[in-house]
Amino acid sequence: MKHRFAALFAIIILAAAVMAPPILRAGNKKANVPLEKLIASDTLLYASVPDVSALKNVLGKCALGRIWKDKAIRKALAPAFETVNVMIDQIDAALEKEGIALTIDELARSLGGKVALAVTEVDKNGNAFVVAQIDFLSNLKAVQGAIKTTLKNIEKEEKDSISVTESVKNGSPFFKLSSKKDGGVIYIGFVGPTCYLCNHETTFNNVISAAESGGRGSPLIADPDFTKVKAQVLPGGNPVFFFYCNLKKILPMVAAAESAGDPLGKGAAAIISMLKGVRAFGWGTTENIGLITDRFYLEKTRDKPAEKKKEGSEKVKTEAVKTFESAALAPPETIFYAVTTEKLTKVIDGTVDLLDKAIPKTRSIFDDTIADLKEQFGFDVVEDLIGSLEGESGIILSPPGARPIPDFVLFAEVKDEGKFNTHMKKMLSVLEKAMGDGGGGKEPFVEEVKLRDGSRMLSLPGLAMPGLFETGPSWCILGKFLVISSNPLLIKEIAMQTEEKSLGATPAYISTTIRFLPGAYVAVYVDVSSIVKMIYADVLPLLRGNLPAGFRLVLLPPPDVFAAYFINGTFSIAKCENGTLAQVTSNLLPVPALLSALAVIARPEEINMEIAANQSVAVYSIRDIMVGQEIYKNRNGEYAGAIRELAKKGLISPGLGAGASKGYALKLRVTSERKSYELFASPTEPGVTGDYYFYLGSADRIIRAEKSKEVGPDSPPYYDEE
C-alpha cells in the first residue's frame, strides 16, 4: 500500500498522544515552548492539546472512559476487548518486522506535554503552510530511530517518486522527505525533546530558530484577538483542547476564491454572509472534577477601537445566572428542557435569513406564504399572532409512554392574551370552513375541555395520527404561558402541578443550572442519565442471543447502574462584549478525543480495576455531596450539619446519606455556625479498596488527595492516575 509506513506511523503518533501517561503537571520546568509562541501573529488556524496527560486524565474520568474500565462490562464483552489486544499485538509485530524498535505501549509512554498544529499561511497558489509540534518525554532516541527507519522504508519502496535526506543540527536529527513528481516536501526536526513537522522550508526554519531561542517576535500568543478568544473559551479548569480560527483573514481569502471560480470557493457565499462581521472563532475544552466543558466563541468586529483593559477583563461579563420561570411548567421527570428569551418573531426572521443564505429564494417563498395566509386569515400570522407572544419560549420532553416518541410540550409566554385569542379564533374559523364544519354527525373541529384550575384546553381531534398523536394537537393558556402538546393528558398534568413539584424544584435541575452561562438567553437541560437508561434498557434485549460465543451479556450491569455513570448535561448561549459565547457541559467523552480513531482501543494499563473504580465513585460521591450542600445553603442560609440531613431533604441518595461510598467512608466536619465545612473520604481498607485519601473544603470546592491520612486543604488537586 502506497506510503503505508508514513500513514501507520502518523496514526500511531496521534493515538499514542491521547494514551500517554500523566507525566506532566502544572509548573513542570521541562515543559517546552508552546507552538503559539513560535508562529506569527497572523496565523490562520491553530489547534492544540495543551497537555496530553490532561486529556488522558479526562478520558479516564469521563463517562465512556469509566465504562471502558468497568470490571463487569470487560468480563461481559471479553471477546471484543481481546480483539483489541490482538490488533495492537499485530501492529507491534508489523513494526518489528519493518525494523522499528518501538511498540505502541512504549510510544505511548514516551509522549506527553503538548501536541499542536497550525496553518500559518496560504500562498497565492492556494498551498497551505502547515506546522505541527509533538512533545516526547522519554524514549527519545528510540522515537528518532523509528522515524528514520520509517522514512528509509518509504524511500526504498517508492524510490522513483520519494527521496529522503538526513542531517544533524545541535546533536538532533533532521529529515527532509521530498516528492520527485510534484516537488512537495515534508521537513521533520527536533529541538530538544520536541519534534516539529512542516511542509514549507522558510516556515520550518523560522519555527526551529524560534524554538531554539525560546520564542519569536510578534508571536500568535501576543495577538489581541487570539488572547481574547483564548480567555473566553479556556476560562478555568484543566485545559484539554483549544482551537483558534482567524476569520478576519480567512473570510476574504474564501471570498476571493469564490470570485475567481476556484472549486474550493464554491458555495462559500452562504458561509461568508453568515459570518459577516466576525473577526475570530474559538473552541476550548476544559475539565474540572469530572465535568467536561466545551466553549465556543464568535468575536465580532468592534465598532470602535477597544480600550486597554486589565488582564482577564475580556471574559464574559459578570451577571447572576438567569433563572427561567418556565421550568415550573416541566414535570419533574422531564428529560429535555430548552428555553430562550429571544422574541419569537426575531427567531423566525433570523432562521429564514439563515436558510436563505444556504438555500436561495427561501426568504421570497416564506414571504409569499405569509402573504397568502394573511389574505386567508385577515391578519399577519407572524407579526400579529406570534407577535403576541414574547418572553420565555421553548420545548419540554417527557419520557415516552406506550408511544414510540417522547411526549412534548411547546410553550411561549403570552404578552397580549386578548390579541392572541382574537387571532386564534379567526384562524380556527377559516380552517374549520376549509376542512369541514363538523356537521352531519362528525366530531367537532375544535374540542374544548375545562380544566380543574378553570383554564380552557382546546384540541383539534381531526388532526390525530393513530399510533403517534392519538388526539391531535391541544393547547391551553396556563398562567402567563401558552402550552401546546400532542398529549392532552400532559397539559392536564401541568395544570394541576405545583411549582414545588416541577422540574424547576428538583435537585437535579437546580444543581445543573449553575452551569448555565451568566446572562444566558438560550439554555438547555438534558437528563442524560435517564435517556441512556432508556436506550440501554431497550437495546440490551435486542443483543441477547445475537452475539457470538464468548459474550456474556448476563454479566452486564443493570440499567440503573450503567446510567449512573452519566450526569446531566447543559447547553447555553450568552452575549458578551464584542461577541457571542456558547457552552456545553457534560461528562461524556471529550470531543478532541475523537480526533484519534485508535484512542478508544488503547490497551488498558495494568492497574487494579477495583481500586480505580472505587476511587472514581468516591470522587463522584464527594461532588454529589458538594452540590447538595450548596443547594441546602441556598435554601436555608447555612450548610447541613451532617450528610444524612442532605439525604433527608432528597438532595443526595439514601445510600450516600449513610456516609459510605463503595470502599470508602465519608466524614463531614461543619463549623459551629455552619458557614463552612470540610469533607473527607478515606478507604475502608487502604491499599485494598483504595489508595488515595480525599479532601474537599467549602472555601474553594476543589477535590484534593494524598496517599496518606494527612490529606487537607494544602494537598494537591486530585488527578486520576488510571
Place 269 in a pLDDT band, splitting at 50, 70 and 90: low
Looking at per-residue pLDDT, the higher value among 404 and 430 belongs to 430
Q: Give CA angle at 37 (32, 41), nearest 5°.
A: 165
DSSP conformation class of 690: B
Place 582 in a pLDDT band, splitting at 50, 70 and 90: very high
Q: Does position 525 have pLDDT exceeding 90, yes or no?
A: yes
Q: What is the pLDDT of residue 415?
A: 94
Q: Tally the C-alpha atoms within 13 A of residue 536's C-alpha that lie toward its C-beta.
A: 19
Place 271 in a pLDDT band, splitting at 50, 70 and 90: low
Looking at per-residue pLDDT, the higher value among 539 and 263 belongs to 539
Q: What is the pLDDT of residue 32?
A: 74
Place 261 in a pLDDT band, splitting at 50, 70 and 90: low
Could you tell me which residues come within 8 angstroms of residue 498 by beta carbon, excluding any fewer than 6 positions away? none
Q: What is the pLDDT of residue 404?
A: 53
Residues in the chain: 722
- CA 667 to CA 665: how far, in whole Å? 7
Q: 186-191 contacts: CB < 8 A, separation 24 or more?
A: 188/147, 188/151, 190/140, 190/144, 191/32
Write out pLDDT tens, residues 236-258.
878 889 999 999 998 888 777 66
Write out pLDDT tens, residues 318-353.
444 557 999 999 999 999 999 999 999 999 998 898
pLDDT > 90: what percent of the chain? 37
Average pLDDT, the chain: 82
Place 676 in a pLDDT band, splitting at 50, 70 and 90: very high
Contact 147/186 with Cβ under 8 angstroms? Answer: no
Looking at per-residue pLDDT, the higher value among 353 and 380 belongs to 380
Write out pLDDT tens, residues 476-498.
999 999 999 988 888 988 999 88
Q: Does position 4 have pLDDT exceeding 60, yes or no?
A: no
H and E: helices and strands count for the chain: 21, 25
Q: Which residue has the cell 414571504?
A: 367
Q: What is the pLDDT of residue 465?
A: 66
- CA 515 to CA 571: how far, in whole Å? 8
Among the residue ranges 167-171, 439-443, 471-475, 672-676, the one predicted with the least confidence is: 439-443
- CA 606 to CA 447: how far, in whole Å? 67
Q: Does position 310 have pLDDT exceeding 50, yes or no?
A: no
List beta partners, residue 283.
243, 296
Q: Does position 3 have pLDDT exceeding 60, yes or no?
A: no
Q: pTM of the entire structure?
A: 0.75
